[in-house]
């Protein structure tokens, strides 16, 4: 069974896809979302193998959803669009396929055939996510959990990132959020030009560094504008100094 998610803000288009996918015995529909935030929440919670994403949706569009996904767990993506230029962009993303509205059952069947082939091949799914990040402003906003829901926060308001196994604590001045992500993948999304590692498990927003104080054996204290103090490991000292011009 192919665990499948649908995200589309247009009820007729959503209902049609639900009906037509229901005619395929190997498709298990695990979630139907009507906006981008809900779709991202469902992908994170349910881990579908395939996601049919409408490109034009409120909150987050289909490309922005793709850009926010963890590369190692992202589903295979099929973009749905009524706009030719977006269809081309979706194809460039290395999505499995794109469906140009209005499509028919035969066109959907071809898309599902491509999905089956990709699932059988075990092909790397990260490419579409990585390209989506380059095509969107995903480094400006980050989806974070707030209770049982997700919300978008401005990346410029993040002070530092702290890895904890397969999780990352995202520290902002307002509060701390816990993401099920790797620090390496999160930095790839947010952009290495904005953050710098000061320890193997900690990266700091460069704009938040106020001063550095030397310690023993080449380590430093990093004082942030918000009042927090972190440890700069000597292993990362040269890279940090190069970034801040010391």
pLDDT digits (tens, 9 = 90+) for 126-175: 778 888 888 887 778 899 998 888 889 999 999 999 999 889 999 998 89
Helix (H, G, I), strand (E, B) or coil at 38: helix
Cα–Cα distances in angstroms (integers) from residue 39 to residues 2, 55, 138, in the given order: 17, 12, 16
Do 26 and 2 touch, CB atoms closer than 8 A?
A: yes
Do 187 and 138 touch, CB atoms closer than 8 A?
A: no
CB-count exposure of residue 232 (10 Å: 0-12, 13-18, 19+): buried
For residue 129, give every residue at least 6 positions away whose Cβ sits within 8 Å of its Cβ, in sequence order, or none.
66, 67, 69, 70, 71, 74
How long is the chain?
Answer: 246
* pLDDT attached to residue 147: 82
* pLDDT attached to residue 212: 93
Do 236 and 199 touch, CB atoms closer than 8 A?
A: yes
Structural domains present in the chain: 2-135 (3.40.50.2300), 141-244 (2.40.50.1020)
For the entire predicted model, the pTM comes to: 0.83
> How would you classify the pairing of strands 158-164 and 202-205?
antiparallel
pLDDT digits (tens, 9 = 90+) for 5-39: 999 999 999 999 999 999 999 999 999 999 999 99
pLDDT digits (tens, 9 = 90+) for 36-60: 999 999 998 999 999 999 988 888 8
Which residue's entry shows tokens 């402003």?
137
* pLDDT attached to residue 96: 87
d(CA 54, CA 13) in angstroms, rounded, equals: 10
* pLDDT attached to residue 109: 97
């Amino acid at each position: 069974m192919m665990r499948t998610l649908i995200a589309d803000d247009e009820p007729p288009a959503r209902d049609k896809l639900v009906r037509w996918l229901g005619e395929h015995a190997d498709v298990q529909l695990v979630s139907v979302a009507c906006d981008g935030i809900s779709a991202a929440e469902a992908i994170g919670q349910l881990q579908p193998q395939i996601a049919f994403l409408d490109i034009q949706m409120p909150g987050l569009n289909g490309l922005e959803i793709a850009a926010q996904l963890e590369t190692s767990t992202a589903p295979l993506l099929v973009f749905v669009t009524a706009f030719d230029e977006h269809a081309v962009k979706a194809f460039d993303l290395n999505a499995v396929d794109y469906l140009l509205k209005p499509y028919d059952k035969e066109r959907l069947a071809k898309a599902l055939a491509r999905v089956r082939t990709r699932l059988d091949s075990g092909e790397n799914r990260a490419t579409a996510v990585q390209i989506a990040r380059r095509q969107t402003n995903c480094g400006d906003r980050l989806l974070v959990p707030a209770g049982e829901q997700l919300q978008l926060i401005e990346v410029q308001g993040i002070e530092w990132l702290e890895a904890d196994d397969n999780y990352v604590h995202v520290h902002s001045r307002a509060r701390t959020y816990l993401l099920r992500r790797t620090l390496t993948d999160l930095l790839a999304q947010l952009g290495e030009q904005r953050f710098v590692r000061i320890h193997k498990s900690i990266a700091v927003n460069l704009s938040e560094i106020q001063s550095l104080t030397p310690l023993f054996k080449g380590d430093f204290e990093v004082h942030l504008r918000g009042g927090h103090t972190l440890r700069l490991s000597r292993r990362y000292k040269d890279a940090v100094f190069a970034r801040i011009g010391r």
